[in-house]
Amino acid sequence: MPRNRGYFHVMVPLVAFFLSYVPVIQAGYGAQSCCLTLAQNLVGSVFFEGQKQYADSLGSYYSGQESDLSPSCIVRPINAAQVSTAVKILSTAHIAKPGSCNFAVRGGGHTPYAGSANVESGVTLDLGRMKSIKVNKSRGTVSLEPGLLWGEVYSKLDPMHISVVGGRSNLVGVAGLATGGGISFFSGRYGLVCDNILNYEVVLADGRIINANEREHVDLRNALRGGSNNFGIVTKFELSSFQQGNLWGGDITHDFNTLPEQLQAFVDYGGNSDFDEYSAFFQVFGTVGGLYFITNNPVYTKPTPYPPIFKKFYEISPQLSNTARIAPLHNLTTITGSVAAMGLRNMFITTSFDNDLPFLHWVVQTWKTFSAELAMVPGLVNTILNQHLVPKTLRKAEARGGNSLGLDPNRVVVIAMLSLTWTEAADDEKVRLAAIAFIKSVEAEAKKRRVYNRFIYLNYADLGQEVIEGYGKSQKNRLRAVSKKYDPAGVFQVAVPGGFKLWP
């Protein structure tokens, strides 16, 4: 069938009329046949090239690499029942003819690498119309649908003076962060995002809709706490909620010459045995147009200005800018999200290591050398973000039933994320190869110095990084067993190519 622009815009009404008189098209004959079957069964929720809804979906991805892909159709379900119908059709196609109708699942669309939540010439399930927020009567739990962004969640909860353990940027999606682990401003008090999910409503590969919680399907619940899109599609997250007023926080930017004091303060903060659980912090080293800077992001989850836990940071001078203030959570996450370059070329890649001062100096100086090599890339914004996961945070997981991440709760880990933004698709390969080479050099040096940590944080990972392997062999085997139990045909391993899979 032709795929020229505008063709489906004209043909969809006619096809829908025709299909009302014929049996459902048999799946297994390619993505376009799947799309027609979906259009028959999900009237008003399937969109094709040339339609506004199709263009709007593609244009709302965080990265240009994702927007470049052209699925045969985009399904935008409005509820779990529609997701179930779509998955049954797509699973039938996969079983009849593997590879004939691959599909992608999109929540917020923030993961930047091409194919993470979109698919070329397949079917994209865009959950962006599923945005319900329900607070129970006691205000002790909140149910969130997967199309929400965290900024939308906080806009609803802030006026109610309650909150949940969620993302730190208003532009990040609920679904991806929650199934990938999730670091929050509240992680010191309550653990990771995934540790605070009480119930998952999940659509399985056969279309069944089940709940996974502490009473039923516990193995699936634990697998979804870090196991991402390997088991089904989560259509509702129920999270613990708590009373929460304003917070204190913001960005404090310094000249790069303050590097020695910055790194010493960073190591001392992460290694503090009396870690203040109300605090959250990350440190960013960046360069734009040949200028280098350091930005600290301290947040305190009480309305307490300049708490003692951050004293070593805010005593560093001079400060080039300071946005720290008392504000609602939504306001602070908007600060974090304001640096996002929506629709440009974007890349994340990550690694982890011990809280070691000499090695941190080596990493930052090596990053500066790497940055110089890419200085001529047009529009390049290049940052490396460092943050800690400390034992007080990691130990929260066990009390909440555990997760799949395989982290040692007695070991401080530094998660480093390299984030790159540029303007021209012609530079994609150059930037990506340089970034991979930099991260590999960091890992090689960390192993040499015996400060390497195998953990790869899924929410920052790039295509090709061995995320599941980083959880450890026993966790990987558990995740594989759960996959075989709930998806015996391997639909989410093979027909959904995006994400980090359990088998090669």
Residues 258-269: tens digit of each pLDDT: 999 999 999 999
Asked if 363 and 283 touch (Cβ cutoff 8 Å), the reply is no
Name the more confident of 320 and 3.
320
Task: Give the integer Cα–Cα distance in Å for 349 and 113.
Answer: 10
What whole-number percentage of the chain has pLDDT above 70? 94
Residues 172-184: pLDDT tens digits? 999 999 999 999 9
Task: Quickly name the fold that domain 133-244+472-489 has.
Answer: 3.30.465
Query: What pLDDT does residue 409 have?
Result: 96
Q: State the average pLDDT over residues 297-314.
A: 97
Task: Quickly name the fold that domain 7-126 has.
Answer: 3.30.43
Asked whether residue 194 carries a pLDDT value surpassing 80, the answer given is yes
Query: What pLDDT does residue 177 have?
Result: 97
Residues 122-157: pLDDT tens digits? 999 999 999 999 999 999 999 999 999 999 999 999
Find the Cα–Cα–Cα–Cα dihedral 383, 384, 385, 386, rounded to 10°.
-160
Task: Give the integer Cα–Cα distance in Å for 285 and 292.
Answer: 7
- The H or E element containing residue 351 is strand 345-353
Task: Give the integer Cα–Cα distance in Å for 48 and 35.
Answer: 9
Query: What pLDDT does residue 173 have?
Result: 97
Where do the H-state alpha helices sit in 302-374? 311-314, 329-337, 357-373
Query: What pLDDT does residue 29 have?
Result: 61
Please list, in sequence order, all residues whose beta carbon lies within 8 angstroms of the beta carbon of residue 244, skipping any fewer than 6 positions away.
157, 161, 162, 163, 301, 329
Other C-beta atoms closer than 10 Å to the C-beta of 416 total 23
| R_g of the chain, CA atoms, integer Å | 23
Asked whether residue 9 carries a pLDDT value surpassing 60, the answer given is no
Closest CA to 389 of 167, 183, 227, 164: 183
Q: State the average pLDDT over residues 53-64.
A: 97
Q: State the average pLDDT over residues 278-293.
A: 95
What whole-number percentage of the chain has pLDDT above 90? 91
Asked if 314 and 252 touch (Cβ cutoff 8 Å), the reply is yes
Asked whether residue 2 carries a pLDDT value surpassing 60, the answer given is no
So where are the chain's domains?
Answer: 7-126, 133-244+472-489, 247-470
Q: State the average pLDDT over residues 483-497.
A: 97
Task: Give the integer Cα–Cα distance in Å for 89 and 19.
Answer: 15
Q: Selecting from 3.30.420.40, 3.40.1790.10, 3.90.1300.10, 3.40.462.20, what CATH number does the domain 247-470 have?
A: 3.40.462.20
Name the more confident of 16 and 442.
442
Question: If pLDDT is split at 50, 70 and 90, which confidence band does 354 have?
Answer: very high
Asked whether residue 27 carries a pLDDT value surpassing 80, the answer given is no
Q: Angle at the Cα of 459 (from 331 to 437), degrees rounded to 5?
A: 120
The separation between the first and the last C-alpha atoms of the chain, rounded to the nearest angstrom, is 33
Q: State the average pLDDT over residues 203-213.
A: 98
Please list, in sequence order, all residues whose beta carbon lies within 8 angstroms of the beta carbon of residue 386, skipping any fewer than 6 positions away.
266, 282, 283, 284, 285, 360, 414, 415, 416
Query: What pLDDT does residue 6 have?
Result: 42
- Per DSSP, the residues of 115-176 read TSS--TTSEEEE-TT---EEE-TTSSEEEE-TT-BHHHHHHHHGGGTEEES--SSTTSBHHH
Q: How far is CA 78 from the centre of its chain?
A: 22
